[in-house]
Structure 1
Amino acid sequence: MAAEMALRREAFLAHVQERGEYGTTEEAERAARVVLALLGAHLIGEVRAQLAARLPEGFALILLAPLRSAEPLPPERFVRATAAWIEGATEQTATWDVSAVLSTVADTAGDDLLGQILLQLPVGYDLLFGRPQPT
């Protein structure tokens, strides 16, 4: 079971690393930690629990951390918050980080759960997840 968890973790990070074109797994992991912590602060209830259940354990714990957002950040502010948390990041690199992580999360979640996640977030997150929704 532990080996399967580790494999899931490696596979998750490999996707993030590939999508973010990071030179190292450490860079991919740093982006994943920050973006999942911020995402977790925006999600509540069953949706948050279901997403956590589909993530590798270490990342599930980050998503479930008791960080709460006073109000859901619009997508642009989510990106800015990500930039603020990652040393040396700019809004451009943070947009890249967010997309790399959230598109991997979208694949992990599947369409039904992603639809429920998007209902909890302000308009525009569909683009951050790489899943533009018809308007």
Structure 2
Amino acid sequence: MTLRREVFLEHVKERGEYGTTEEADRAARVVLALLGAHLVGDVRAHLAARLPEGYALILLNPLQSAEPLPPERFVRAAAAWIEGATGQTAAWDVSAVLSTVADAADVDLLGQILLQLPAGYDLLFGRPQPI
């Protein structure tokens, strides 16, 4: 089931404790563009199908990444793209967006997403995995 844009943004805004929907939207766009560069094939397509259309398009037309970034570099990359962000605020931004994405995905899809990502992303999605 696809989340409506308003519902998706409301979750991101609440989790990120943003003052405006525009701030939540900016974080969502950057994080999804970075995430899209790390996912391939059916996994990216299945996740896109669960997101609001505008965000699905961002996920499907990602920024280019030469290699999968470890979680800490993913956060630093987000900080570089989000105006005024620091490493600490970017970690908050990433977590607010990815935990909302995790809610949109079912357990199986989230498992497939995590298999495509370097170790440690489970924490960014707010779904710590047993070791």
TM-score calculated relative to the size of structure 2:
0.97
Q: Is the 8 A contact 2:34 2:62 kept in 1?
A: no
Structure 1 runs of 4+ with >3 Å offset: none
Any residues of structure 2 matched to 1:1-135 within 5 Å, and which? 8-135=4-131
Counterpart AA for 1:67: L
Counterpart AA for 1:86: I
Give me the CA root mean square deviation.
Answer: 1.1
Q: Deviations over 1:9-30 (max 9, x none)?
A: 0000000000000000000000
- Alignment gaps of 5+ in structure 2: none
What displacement does 1:69 show?
Answer: 1.3
Q: Deviations over 1:56-80 (max 9, x none)?
A: 0000000001533110000000000
**CA spacing shift, 1:66–1:27, aligned 2, 3 Å:** closer
SS in 2 for 1:97: helix
SS in 2 for 1:42: coil
Identity rate of aligned residues, in percent?
Answer: 85
Q: Is the 8 A contact 2:35 2:62 kept in 1?
A: no
- Alignment gaps of 5+ in structure 1: none
> Aligned pairs, how many?
130
**CA spacing shift, 1:86–1:46, aligned 2, 3 Å:** same
TM-score calculated relative to the size of structure 1:
0.94
Q: Is the 8 A contact 2:99 2:125 kept in 1?
A: yes
